[in-house]
Chain A
C-alpha cells in the first residue's frame, strides 16, 4: 500500500529542523504542521502576511481579519508578526525562508515543476508558487506518485506549463522519498509496503535506486 496523505506529511515533518521558518502550501503540505514535535521551535510563514501561524481558532475566536494563504481562518502563534505582501515576498524571494513544501501536478527529472495550470481547463493561477520555488532555500514537493488514471507524475519532461525551472531537489510521494540530481531521480526511501523495484516501475522519468536505499520510517 502506498502512503496516505497524513503519512506523506509525517515523513516531510522529519525534514523540518529546529529554528526553521517554513511555508506550507495548500493540501498535503498543510498537514505537515500537525507532525512537528513540540521540542522543535518552528515558525510557519503564510504568504498573505503572517509569520508565526498558529492552529485553527476556537469557534469563539474566529476573526475574518486573520486568515492564511488558503483563506482559512487561523490564529497567530506567540512571537508572530503581520506584514504586507511585499515584505512577505521579500522574505520568500530574498531566501529568508528555510523550507517551502508544496504540491505538484508534475515534476520531471531535471527538477522542473508544474502545478498551476492545465491549458483550456483549469484557470486558477500560480498564487505565490512561482515566487516560492524561485526563492526558498529548500523546496520539498509533496505529491501523489501517479495521477487518477495511474500515469506517473514523476516525468521525463513536464507536459504542463511550468511553475519553476530546475528548482526541485526533493520529492516525498506516497511511494517514497526521491532526490532530484543531475543524473535524474534517485530513490532514497520507499514506502514500507512497496519495494524499490515497484517504485521504479511506477516512475516515467529516469530513476536510479540509491545504494543505501531503505524503507521509510514514519514514527
Chain B
C-alpha cells in the first residue's frame, strides 16, 4: 500500500530525463514544489519543457533551473519578476509559449481528465488565437485549445497520506490540483505525510489515484514575493 512513498525528492524523481515535459504547480512562489525543483537542479537534467503559471524569480523557484540553463521551453501566463528569464528569452535561448492563465488551468484539467481539446472565448482576436481552429457557438467565436499531459507532474500540498490523498492550504492550492491530474507520473511533496486513514475523506482535495509518488519535503522556505502589511 505504501509503494507510493519515497524518502526524498531525489528518489521520487527517478526517471526524469533530458527533454521531458514537466507540469508544475504553484502561483508565483506560493505552493511551488521547492524540494523537487532543488532536486532537478542537482540532477542536472536539461532541455526541459516546463508548464507552470510562472517562472519563479531570479534566485528561487524555477529561476534556479533557468540559472542552470536546464529549461528549453516554458508554457506560462506571466513571467514578469524574472530578469534572467527575460534575458534568455530575448536572446532566443529560451522558447516561450504564453498561455492565458485560465486557459492554462483548463489545459491541465482537460489533459488530466482525458479531454484532448476544448473551445474557449479567451484570446479570440489576439496573438493567442493565431494558427488555432475557431468555431462559432450561439453567435460567439471560440478557439480550440489542447489539453496538456506531462511526462511528470510535480505538485506541493500541505498534507498527504501514504495513498497520495492531498490537502492544500489556502491560496497555495492554485494550479496544484490540476497539475496533479496531468502527469503520466505525478510526484507530490507534502509538508506533513500521514498514515492512511488519518485524513478526513471530506477534506481531501486531490484523491490519491492521481498521485503515483509522494514524499515528505523538508526545509521549506516559502518565500514571499511581495510582503504587504497594514498597521495595527
What number of B residues sit within 8 Å (CB to CB) of A? 60
Asked if B128 is at the interface (CB within 8 A of a chain A CB), the reply is yes
Interface string of B90-119 (1 = CB under 8 A from A): 100000101011111110110000000000
Interface membership of B227, Cβ < 8 A: yes
Task: Judge whether B78 and A58 touch: CB under 8 Å.
Answer: no
A residues near B (Cβ < 8 Å) are 46-50, 55-59, 62-74, 76, 82-86, 88-89, 92-93, 112, 117, 120, 123-131, 134-135, 161-166
Beyond A57-B229, A93-B122, is A126–B100 a contact (Cβ under 8 Å)? yes
Residues of B within 8 A of A112 (CB): 125
Contact between chains at A127 and B77 (CB < 8 Å)? yes
Using Cβ atoms and an 8 Å threshold, which residues of chain A touch B78? 124-127
Chain A: minimal CB distance from B81 (Å):
8
Q: Report the bound CA distance from A83 to B31 in whole Å.
A: 13
Whether B127 sits at the interface, judged by CB under 8 Å, is yes
Contact across chains for A134 and B76 when beta carbons are under 8 A apart: no
- The answer to whether A58 and B77 touch (CB under 8 A), given A82-B170, A86-B109, is no
Contact of A126 among B29, B96, B98, B222 (CB under 8 A): B98
Cβ-neighbour of A56 out of B127, B175, B230 (below 8 A): B230
B142 to A, closest residue via Cβ: A134
**Among B124, B173, B226, which residue has its beta carbon within 8 angstroms of that of A71?**
B226
Starting from the known contacts A86-B105, A93-B120, 11 additional A-B residue pairs (CB-CB under 8 Å) come to A62-B224, A65-B158, A66-B170, A69-B27, A71-B81, A72-B228, A73-B224, A120-B90, A123-B79, A131-B102, A161-B126
- CB-nearest residue of chain B relative to A126? B100
The answer to whether B224 and A64 have CB atoms under 8 Å apart is yes
A130 to B125, CA, bound (A): 11
**Which residues of B132-180 have CB atoms within 8 Å of chain A's CB atoms?**
158, 168-178
* Contact, CB under 8 Å: A130 / B100: yes
Closest A residue, CB atoms, query B128: A130
Question: Contacts A135-B121, A164-B125: A50 and B228 contacting too (C-beta < 8 A)?
Answer: no
- The answer, yes or no, to whether B123 is at the interface (CB within 8 Å) is yes
20 of the cross-chain contacts (CB-CB < 8 Å) are: A56-B230, A59-B232, A63-B170, A67-B27, A67-B28, A67-B171, A73-B226, A73-B227, A82-B168, A84-B173, A84-B178, A84-B205, A85-B105, A86-B106, A127-B101, A128-B101, A130-B128, A131-B100, A134-B123, A134-B124
**B218 at the A interface (CB under 8 A):** no
User: In the complex, are the beta carbons of B169 and A130 less than 8 A apart?
Assistant: no
Instruction: For B44, list chain A residues within 8 Å (CB).
Output: none
Q: Min CB distance, A159 to chain B, in Å?
A: 14
Distance to closest chain A CB from B125 (angstroms): 3
From known contacts A49-B171, A62-B227, A163-B126, infer whether A89 and B27 are also in contact, taking CB-CB under 8 Å. Answer: no
